[in-house]
Structure 1
């Protein structure tokens, strides 16, 4: 079963627009989410494949309504929810 993010080979999404001089982050919180995820993966709290799976398991409406880093934050929150205060679990 494919997930909402699995759109490979599908049409109807329009042309891909690449903006010149696009900043890596549009807000400070996005940079913080990126850094937080990097630290959690580097310290073995969860693996990158677990993170990707958590993003892909978002409910379709939430996934489509969320920005890129909102999806990252959702995944981090999901993965940490049952791991206790130090990320164990």
Structure 2
């Protein structure tokens, strides 16, 4: 899905602010929100890819003007309502009016340290051999799928060369719907001039990790 979230390679949005303070949060409520999100019980179908998809549905003006953790708050509120975990009225009042059957037990304080160090793995056993190998010339798709994707707009319909095959990994485009389908993942190198005409003649190379369904043989 193309949207305002995909700003890579775009111009006209002003300079990147690099003088922000080193503190991870701008206000106390941001730290509290992060803690709640990390400790909250959530339905099994929730995934990082669904979170990203819902966040990408935020109105463009809100996306560009709301603080980062304010976007998180809006996204998780929408996910809770969509999943039936809470109603709009419950979110507005700050109180749950009913129990949610099958929802996991909230995290206990003693579990926080383990949760902070826990990581998720997205590599899987391959069910089919890879279609491409290092050295193959490939072209990326011209159009994006209707939902979340990891193929950026600036790299569409562009020719690159496979640098490495990285095994099979969960495809974000389908994982956002709760499907854990895995595909071959490749690192693909693109000349800067292939992605941005104004960079023609420069020796810069951009490497992108792309799933097999994003590319075809050039």
For Structure 1 versus Structure 2, the TM-score category normalised by the shorter chain is 0.7 to 0.9
CA distance, structure 2, for counterparts of residue 38 and residue 59 of structure 1: 25
Give the gaps of 5 or more residues in structure 1: none
Any residues of structure 2 matched to 1:41-80 within 5 Å, and which?
43-45=41-43, 46-80=46-80
**In the aligned structure 2, how far is the partner of 1:17 from the partner of 1:64?**
14
Q: Which residue in 2 is equivalent to 1:15?
A: 15
Distance (whole Å) between structure 2 residues aligned to residue 20 and residue 78 of structure 1:
29
Distance (Å, rounded) in 2 between the aligned partners of 1:72 and 1:2: 20
Higher helix share: 1
Q: CA deviation at 1:17?
A: 2.2
Question: Is there any run of 5+ residues in structure 2 with no aligned partner, and where?
Answer: 86-99, 104-218
**Whose strand proportion is higher, 1 or 2?**
2
**DSSP-derived class of the 2:8 partner:** coil
Highest CA radius of gyration, 1 or 2? Answer: 2
Q: How many correspondences in the alignment? A: 86
Structure 1 vs Structure 2 CA RMSD: 2.2
Question: When the two structures are superposed, what TM-score results if normalisation uses the length of structure 2?
Answer: 0.35
1:83 aligns with 2:98: no
Cα distance in 1, alignment partners of residues 16 and 32 from structure 2: 27
The CA deviation at 1:35 is 1.7
